[in-house]
Amino acid sequence: MKAVAVIPGKAKSAHLADLEKPDINSVLDGRGVLVRVLRVGVDGTDKEINAAEYGAAPPGYNFLVTGHEGFGIVEKVGTNVSELKPGDYVVATVRRPGKSIYDVIGTNDMTTDDTYYERGINLLHGFLTEYYVDDAEYIVRVPALLRNIGVLLEPFTVVQKGITQAYEAQRRLRIWRPRKAAVMGAGTIGLLAALALKLRGMDVTVFARQPKPNLKADLLADIETRYVSTQETSILDGAARFGLFDLTFEATGASTVVFESMQAVAKNGVLVLSSVTGGTKKLEVAADKINLDFVLGNKLLVGTVNANREYFESGVRDMALSHAMYPGWMERLLTHPVEGLDNYTDAFNKLETAREAIKVFYEVAAF
């Protein structure tokens, strides 16, 4: 069985590996599910793992099968699986439990362990292969109506978690009804965040570098969302023009944007950070003013990364709502397919060079 893998710690080591087809009985208590992989999305995480910035192989292997944005179809279920059946379309979660209390209660995305387990990222093989087996506990069914966009569910869960955490935190205010929202960045996460906020009834402004006209601006216009190029209007000028934002979702991958975004947050507002930055960039900021405004304005800063099952399920619900309100919109995010696992170099090239790429994804098998 073919798989796309890397040798952790060795840059640009992506290669085709050979694995045995997984055994459904490798999961105890008859809870195993055998899934045939149909599509796998790739993103900056996969690029960084191939650059040897992080990632670790599972015990007993010198390579790591990559790919954490999997979508597939169930071929076989264990004797004690009643919630899934052959023919169901599914997506598997990424993070697996460790030993902390948060892992024990099912919120393994909030683990306090120093060692964590993520499929396709750290210590567990991912989904860029032909088949995988997993415990039914970590597999979420996707309605057949949404099968063409199912590969977007995993990145959508980062958005779901961030927005849900913002609402949960704001329960401290007894009542919180955000009306104006901003999204920083118009990549896959940014576009999905704009969609999720729009589905919640907000007036949404997306800030991104590229001037109009461009595909992302067109996509946002089709869901009645404002697109602002920061080459023409700064975040602070946009906030002055459209009003400070009750909920801001930062998804640029640039830490410098965070501090400007902090100054565009309304009183009682929330800034959600989703960018993972590993550099050493420094800048000068208006620290006293930012601090004062956050304290006196009861403002909140919260991070979001990875997700547990709850956010996968809410992502499915938002996908269904999007399908009803904006038919065909999410399909348009799937801009750059890669045919088959053998063409893994093509996938990395598209991540690096395709200017209009929103989501690069493998077509592993027909469906």
| 325 within a domain of the structure (yes/no) | no
Q: Are residues 6 and 88 in the same domain?
A: yes
- 141 phi/psi in degrees, rounded to 5: -75, 140
CATH number of the domain residue 117 falls in: 3.90.180.10
Say how far residue 205 (Cα) sits from the centre of its chain. 20
pLDDT tens, position by position, 297-326? 999 999 988 899 999 999 999 999 999 999
Domain boundary among 261, 287, 303: 303
Q: What is the mean pLDDT of residues 212-219?
A: 96
For the ranges 122-131, 134-143, 284-293, the lowest mean pLDDT is seen at: 284-293
Q: Tell me how far apart the alpha carbons of residues 167 and 181 are, in angstroms, rounded to a whole number.
A: 13
H-state helical runs in 170-243: 188-199, 215-221, 235-242
| 148 within a domain of the structure (yes/no) | no
Q: Are residues 238 and 189 in the same domain?
A: yes
With tokens 């935190």, the residue in question is 169
- 137 phi/psi in degrees, rounded to 5: -60, -30
Q: Tell me how far apart the alpha carbons of residues 70 and 281 are, in angstroms, rounded to a whole number.
A: 33
Q: Are residues 161 and 296 in the same domain?
A: yes
Q: Tell me how far apart the alpha carbons of residues 97 and 109 are, in angstroms, rounded to a whole number.
A: 8
Q: What is the mean pLDDT of residues 11-38?
A: 96
Report the alpha-carbon angle 211-212-217, nearest 5: 110
For the ranges 86-90, 108-112, 122-126, 314-318, the lowest mean pLDDT is seen at: 108-112
Q: Across the chain, what does the average pLDDT equal?
A: 95
CATH number of the domain residue 267 falls in: 3.40.50.720
Are β-strands 265-273 and 245-250 bridged in parallel, bridged antiparallel, or unpaired? parallel
The 64-65 sheet, strands edge to edge = 15-18, 2-6, 64-65
| 329 within a domain of the structure (yes/no) | no
Q: What pLDDT shows up at residue 285?
A: 87
| 270 within a domain of the structure (yes/no) | yes
Report the alpha-carbon angle 236-256-245, nearest 5: 35
Q: What is the mean pLDDT of residues 75-102?
A: 97
Q: Are residues 115 and 165 in the same domain?
A: no
Q: What pLDDT shows up at residue 113?
A: 93
| 313 within a domain of the structure (yes/no) | no
Q: Are residues 194 and 272 in the same domain?
A: yes
Q: Are residues 79 and 115 in the same domain?
A: yes
Which H helix or E strand runs over 44? Answer: helix 44-50
Which domain, by its residues, includes 260? 157-303
Domain count, the chain: 2
Please confirm whether the linkage preceding 213 is cis (ω < 30° from 0). Answer: yes
| 48 within a domain of the structure (yes/no) | yes
Q: What pLDDT shows up at residue 278?
A: 65
Q: Is the pLDDT of residue 94 over 80?
A: yes
The H helix count followed by the E strand count for the chain is 10, 19
Q: What is the pTM of this model?
A: 0.95
Q: Are residues 41 and 163 in the same domain?
A: no
| 136 within a domain of the structure (yes/no) | yes
The two structure tokens encoding residue 188:
């896959």
Name the residue among 80, 92, 74 with its Cα closest to residue 33.
Answer: 74
pLDDT interval class at 174 (50, 70, 90): very high
Q: Are residues 112 and 169 in the same domain?
A: no
**Cβ atoms 306, 109 nearer than 8 A:** yes
| 31 within a domain of the structure (yes/no) | yes
Q: Is the pLDDT of residue 276 over 80?
A: no
Q: What pLDDT shows up at residue 355?
A: 77
Q: Are residues 104 and 231 in the same domain?
A: no
Q: Are residues 242 and 135 in the same domain?
A: no
Report the alpha-carbon angle 53-55-59, nearest 5: 150
Q: Are residues 200 and 298 in the same domain?
A: yes
Report the alpha-carbon angle 125-131-137, nearest 5: 70
Q: Are residues 122 and 258 in the same domain?
A: no
Q: Is the pLDDT of residue 258 over 80?
A: yes
DSSP one-letter code for 146: G
Q: What pLDDT shows up at residue 77?
A: 98
